[in-house]
Amino acid sequence: MLKRSARLLWRTVGRKSWLFAGSERGGDRAAFMYSLIVTAKMNDVDPQAWLADVPARLPGTTASRVPDLLTWNWKASELRRAA
């Protein structure tokens, strides 16, 4: 499904638009961020809320609790509890 979304974006945006990533590294970063956003959307999670919450909580999270921060386990109610 992610591949299909990426193909659709590729056709919609067009190859030349990717030149504006600035560099190959910038393109890699854009692709990484796009994959995070699409994964959140595929799991019915608001990408903006998830991307704001997880980096703030990650430093205080033990290794055994990291899976709770993945999009398919993350719940919006956890955002309210952390606040």
- pLDDT of res. 51: 92
User: Encoding tokens for residue 10?
Assistant: 């590729």
pLDDT-derived band of residue 24, with 50, 70 and 90 as boundaries? confident
DSSP 14-81: -GGGGGGGSSHHHHHHHHHHHHHHHHHHHTT--HHHHHHHHHHHGGG--GGGGGGGSTTT--HHHHHH
Q: Which residue has the higher pLDDT, 49 or 3?
A: 49
Overall pTM > 0.95: no
Quick: pLDDT tens for 40-74: 999 999 999 999 999 898 899 899 999 999 999 99
Angle (CA) 7 9 10, round 5°: 60
Contact 71, 77 (CB under 8 A): no
- pLDDT of res. 48: 93
Sequence-distant (≥ 6) Cβ neighbours of residue 29 within 8 angstroms? 21
Contact 22, 51 (CB under 8 A): no
- pLDDT of res. 23: 76
